[in-house]
Structure formats: structure tokens, C-alpha cells
Amino acid sequence: MRLPPHFKRALQMLGPYRSRLAVAFLGMIVTAATEPMFPAVLKLILDRGFVPQPTIALWMVPVAVIGIFVLRGISTFTTAYTMTWVSTRLLNELRAQIFRRLLDVPPGFYMHNSVGKVINSIMFETQQIVDMVRNVLTSAIRDLLTVIVLLGFLLWLNWWLTLVALILLPLTAVVVRLTGKRVRRLTKGLLGVNAELTQVIEETTRAQQVIKIFGGQEYERRRFNQRASELIRYSMRMASALAVTVPITQLMAACAVAVVIVIALMQSASGEATVGGFVSFITAMLMLLAPLKRLAEVNGPLQRGMAASEAVYALIDAPPERTNGRPLLQRTRGEIEFVGVGFAYPGQARPALSDINLHIQPGETVAFVGMSGGGKSTLVALVPEFYPPTTGQIMLDGQPIADISLASLRGQIAMVSQSVVLFDDTLAANISYGDETPDAARVQAAAQAAHLQDVIVNLPEGLQTRIGDNGSRLSGGQRQRVAIARAIYKDAPLLILDEATSALDTESERAVQAALDQLMHGRTTLVIAHRLSTIERADRIVVLVDGRIVETGSHAVLLAQNGVYASLYRLQFAEELPS
């Protein structure tokens, strides 16, 4: 029998747990061996005990019955405990593999994989794979062995009656095969809807304020109810497909039992069968139905696991960012050069950047301006290689960044984005994020430089206060100042500021701008700003239109040229004038 590749791959992950699995399999063998013991004891009791002159000692009966169930109890407990031990570690390893890969995939990965889908794969679909492996292994070994042992016992008791019982096996296999394809198809649909439902929940919890302000409660309820109803529909259809195997199997069993009884009565009339032999046979045959039923039902977790494994292994096998390149042996001077750089997002016919040629000197502050969609953020994102250029190359201190290891390249860069990301940890941990051995004095200095003293004073545990999910205990301006403190703490030679003061009020902006001026001193700084007043003092301003550089120069020079920048400046200045 050829194993499906994903199932085989999951089995290979069990290699480190061979010794535990051996104990579990030994327990399964013992459990299977105890199955025919009870009907055998029953035959002995009926044939040698229920007679005028019993030939069996009474004390042997409770000893035999209790002994069988004690042995069976120990073996089943050993199997269940050990399989749970193995399966929980397999589940953890699958989740860990996905999580490790998520840390290495490029940012573009999330253009095609929603957060809800990823969470669904980590939390739900991995469980389906583990259930598949556990149930298939348990049934394939314990239940298959039980069937073999009971069939051997039945053949020993009465080979003629056993032939009738054997009709169950091929018919059961036919039922399983017919339902398998339908179950797998339904499972794929179920997993897809479950991922959509997870996405709805994730978006709703993240966008509470937007939902309340714009009155989106009813829309979100409708989205949730639609996915939940679809999930119920798929669940019921799948349950129906799986449940039909049970009554069919039981019907076949009933037919076989009826035929067996008729044949046994005929044999009894001719003296070929005893009462004890007949009762023992019927008992063993009925005991055969339970493992056969479990073997038939294993098709459900098998198909669910096979469908889930496609999504899980697609995440595990997602192409990571490059791992080549040389480490930088010293702090970079910060000279950046774009040479014929172009970039197009996957699936987009129109390039986001075209023919970018720009030389930035060490310590120079360069601001990028232009209308939304002009390519400012995309251009800056190429420097830490969040995306590799489609054409051309970017040089750092004269060497292509493609030849530098990503860890080393990004170690030279600090970034403050307009989309501030904080962690549910202490304020100090957020400031020193990425430092395995944080320096408390540097944390304090960075917080002071980012003008966070007023925030720290009002926190119950100061810098050691947990700030909540994405800094929910802080205001928008405070969160942005924490992000600035994080950049100050890193003390990198390259600095990227993407609307770094966009969430600050006028007073805070003035204070933080002073801190940024100090931070920017001696560092190569790339600034993205929509508010042109914040970049007037930049050494150079680069104007982008439709992914191309159309103007470059200082604030005064560009105003004098009376071109695109001057138009943008006048337009924004007019909007800011009081009416």
C-alpha cells in the first residue's frame, strides 16, 4: 500500500519518539491479545461449568475474568497515555515549524496569505494532522491486530461460521472507499470556511474602534453569521457522509449474525456445535464489530488530516528570505546608492518603481515626497530588502546589499514607521526589543531622549509596566514615541523614518522632532513625510511621481524651480491656513 506523501511526511516526524511508540505499540498488542480471552473463558465456563458434574474450580472464574480486565486496563492506559504524549509533541513541533518559517518569509508572503488563514493553520489544521496520525496508527495497529486475533480465534472455534463473518471485511472496505473522496472534498471546503471565519474574528477584534465609529456592527454580525452558517452546512454534510458508514456496517453485521445463528442451529442439531462454543463464537463475533467500526471510522480523520496537511505543509514549505551573503565586519559608514533600480509587485503589470538612480552620502538626510502611490514607501522598503529589486541594484558602502547577509544588513538599520507595532510586554522590553541582554541605562536614556518621562511617571510600575496588546494602554502619540525610543536605543548608522511624527500633537511633535534631530545627527537618514513642513531642513528632497524621480534638491532650490515640489508645498500650505 502506497502512503499519501503528506501522511508519510507526518509519520517521518515521529522518528525521535520511536521508543515511546514502541511502548504504545506493545500496549496495543497486549490489548488485541486480550480480546479472545473473554469468549474463550466463557466457552470453558458454559461447557465445563454448566453441567451436572462441573470440572472447573469456582475460584478460577473470578480470577480469570478480573485478570483479563486488569491486564487489558493496564495495556489500554499505557497506549492512551503514550500516544497522547507523542501526539502533543508532534502537534507542538508542527506549530513550531510553521512559526519558525513565518519568521523567515518575506513581507510579500502576506499579500497572498491572510493572517486569519495563517492562524487557522497553526491552531486548527495542525490538530487535524495529529488526529489523523494518532487515529490511523491506533486503528491500523490495535484494531487491525484485534481483528486478526479474533478472526484466528473464530477460525479455531468454527471455520465454517467464520467464512460467513468474513463477508464483512470486503464490504466494509467498499463503503470506506466510496465515502473517502466525498469526505476529503467536503473537508477542504470546511477548512477554507474555517479560515475565513478566523479572519473575520481577527479583523473584528483588531478594528473595534472603526466598527463602532462607522456603525459596522450589523455588517460584522452578518459576515460572522454567513461564515458560521456555511461552517455548519459543511460540518453536517461531512457528518452525514461519515455517519452513513456506521449503519451500513451494522446492517452487514446483523445479516451475518442472523446467518450464523441459522447455521449454528443446524450444526447443533447434528451434534457438531456445543452451547459454549456457539455463545463463545457469537461473543467473539460481536466483539469483532467494534474494531471493524473503528477501522471504518478512521476514514474521517484520515481525510480531514490529508486536506489539512496540504495547507500546513504549504506554509512550512513557503520560500524563505535568502540566507546567503557575507556579514558586515564593522559599522557601516551609511553610503547608499541606487543604480537603475526598478521594482514591480507580483501580479502587477505596472511597475511601482522605474529607473531609480540616487547616491546618498554618509550622514546625509534625504526626504522622499510625492503623491500617495508614487513609490516612496516601496523605495525605502528596498533598503532593508523587505523586497528585492526587480532590476538594478542597491549599494551600501560600495558593495551590493544582495551580497550582504540580511541579518547583518538589517542590523545596521533602525526604523520608525507610521504603523507602530508594539508587543504585550513591558515598556522597557519594547524599547530594547531585539536585544537579548538589554542595558537598563540605555533604555532609560532612550526613553528620556524620546520624551517619555511623563508617560513613565504615570505608569504604575514605570518602565516595567506591561503596555497591553499593541500598546493599548498608551495613546497614539505615546506609542509613536515608544517606537522612536526603540530606534534611539538601537543606535544604528542607517535610520528610516516613515511618517515618524504623524500621530503626535503639536507640542509632542516639537519635543520629539528635537529628539529626532539629535538622533539623525551623524546618521544616514531616509525620511518619508506627507507634511512637507517636517522635512524642510533635510539635506536633500527627492520628489517621486509614478515611481520615477522627477526632482531632487534642497527645500529652497525646489521651491525656486517652481515644479512638482513647489506645487505640493503651496497646496499643502494653503490647506493648513486657517479659513
Q: What is the pLDDT of residues 344-367, one digit of tens each?
A: 988 787 899 999 999 999 999 999
Closest CA to 277 of 288, 265, 291, 289: 265
The radius of gyration of the chain from alpha carbons, rounded to an integer in Å, stands at 35
User: Is residue 135 included in any domain, yes or no?
Assistant: yes
Residue 438 sits in the same domain as residue 290: no
- On whether both 291 and 363 belong to a single domain, the answer is no
Assigned domain for 403 exists: yes
- Per-residue model confidence (pLDDT) at position 303: 76
* Cβ atoms within 10 Å of 562's Cβ, excluding its own: 10
pLDDT of residue 365: 92
Whether 376 shows a pLDDT value over 80: the answer reads yes
**Confidence at residue 454, expressed as pLDDT on a 0 to 100 scale:** 85
pLDDT tier, 543 (very low <50, low <70, confident <90, very high otherwise): very high
Q: Does one domain contain both 69 and 193?
A: yes
- 131 and 151: one domain? yes
What is the phi/psi pair of residue 277, to 5°? Answer: -65, -40
pLDDT given at position 396: 95
Task: Look at 212-216, 309-313, 429-433, 481-485 and tell me which has the smallest mean pLDDT.
Answer: 212-216
Specify the amino acid at residue 321: E
The reported pTM is 0.74
CATH number at 15 reads: 1.20.1560.10
Check pLDDT > 80 for residue 453: yes
pLDDT over 80 at 523, yes or no: yes
227-231, 333-337, 534-538, 552-556: which range is least confident on average? 534-538
What is the pLDDT averaged over residues 446-452? 86
User: Which is nearest to 512 in space by CA: 457, 454, 470?
Assistant: 454
- Is the domain of 145 the same as that of 19? yes
Strand order in 399-400's β-sheet?
353-360, 336-343, 391-396, 399-400
Q: What are phi and psi of 427, to 5 degrees?
A: -60, -40
Q: What is the DSSP letter of 54?
A: -
- 94: cell is 508542527
Q: Which of 5-9, 139-143, 496-500, 549-553 has the highest mean pLDDT?
A: 549-553
Tell me what the mean pLDDT of segment 530-543 comes to. 82
Give residues with Cβ within 8 angstroms of 342, minimum separation 6: 351, 353, 354, 355, 356, 389, 390, 391, 392
Q: Is the pLDDT of residue 1 over 60?
A: no
Residues 12 and 7: their CA atoms lie apart, in Å, by 9
* Structural contact between residues 344 and 546, judged by C-beta atoms closer than 8 angstroms: no
Q: How far is CA 570 from the centre of its chain?
A: 49
- Average pLDDT of the chain, as a whole number: 81
pLDDT of 103 above 90: no
Give the relative orientation of helices 126-138 and 60-104 as an angle to the nearest 10 degrees: 150
pLDDT in tens, 153-204: 878 877 776 776 666 556 665 665 666 667 667 777 777 787 778 778 777 7
Please check whether residues 485 and 381 belong to one and the same domain.
no
Same domain, yes or no: 21 and 72: yes
pLDDT at residue 579, rounded to an integer: 42
Q: What is the mean pLDDT of residues 285-313?
A: 76
Average the pLDDT over 242-270 and give the result.
68
How high is the pLDDT of residue 474? Answer: 87
Domain assignment of residue 564, given as a range: 331-412+494-503+524-579
pLDDT for 189 equals 77
Number of domains within the chain: 3
List, in sequence order, every residue forming a beta bridge with 367; answer none if it has no partner: 527, 541
For 101, 251, 442, 515, 533, the CA distances from 500, given in Å and listed in that order, are 30, 72, 21, 12, 13
Residues 340 and 204 in one domain: no
CB 515 within 8 A of CB 495: no
- The reply to whether 468 and 440 lie within a common domain is yes
Q: Which of 289, 316, 343 is the last residue of a domain?
A: 316
pLDDT at 577: 42
- pLDDT for position 246: 64
Residue 61 near residue 13 (C-beta atoms within 8 A) = no
Predicted local confidence at residue 405, as pLDDT: 93
Position 125 scores a pLDDT of 87
Q: Measuring CA to CA, which residue among 412, 380, 381 is closest to residue 396? A: 412
Angle between helices 168-206 and 245-269 in degrees, nearest 10: 160
User: What's the pLDDT at 578?
Assistant: 46
Count Cβ atoms below 10 Å from residue 540 Cβ, excluding itself.
19
371 and 249 part of one domain? no
| Residue 438, in any domain of the structure | yes
Domain boundary among 316, 348, 368: 316
Residue 169 belongs to what H/E stretch? helix 168-206
- Based on the fold, state whether residues 192 and 248 are members of the same structural domain: yes
> E strands within 172-277?
none
DSSP-derived 3-state class of residue 182: helix
Whole-number Å distance between alpha carbons of 241 and 13? 30
Alpha carbon distance 216, 139 (integer Å) = 49
Q: What confidence category does residue 122 fall into, taking pLDDT thresholds of 50, 70 and 90?
A: confident
Percent of residues in the chain assigned helix, strand, coil, to nearest 5: 65, 10, 25
Q: Considering the domain boundaries, does residue 510 fall inside one?
A: no
Does residue 486 sit in the same domain as residue 499?
no
Lowest mean pLDDT across 275-279, 283-287, 330-334, 504-508? 504-508
Residue 326 located in a structural domain = no
Q: Give the per-residue pLDDT at 257.
A: 67
Q: Is residue 498 part of a domain?
A: yes
Average confidence (pLDDT) over 457-468 = 91
Amino acid at 40: A
pLDDT score, position 505 = 62
Instruction: Please name the residues in contact with 80: beta carbons below 8 A apart, sequence gap of 6 or more.
Output: none
Nearest to 562 by CA among 543, 549, 579: 543
Say which DSSP state 397 is in. Answer: T
> Stretch 202-207: mean pLDDT, rounded?
72
pLDDT tens string 37-95: 777 777 777 666 666 676 677 767 778 778 888 888 898 899 889 988 998 999 999 99
Cell numbers representing residue 453 in the block = 518621562
Strand 524-528 and strand 365-369: the pairing is parallel
Residue 64: its H or E element: helix 60-104
Dump pLDDT digits (tens) for 554-572: 999 999 999 999 988 888 7
Please check whether residue 322 lies inside any domain of the structure: no
Query: For 284-296, what is the mean pLDDT?
Result: 73
Q: Give Cα separations from 163 to 121, 167, 261 (angstroms).
A: 46, 7, 13
Residue where one domain finishes, among candidates 466, 491, 516: 491
Q: Is residue 343 part of a domain?
A: yes
How far is the C-alpha of 279 from the C-alpha of 55, rounded, in Å? 19
**Res 558: pLDDT:** 92
User: What distance in Å separates the CA atoms of residue 300 and residue 239, rounded to the nearest whole number?
Assistant: 9
CATH number, position 398: 3.40.50.300
Instruction: For residues 283-288, give the mean pLDDT.
Output: 75
pLDDT at 331 over 70: yes
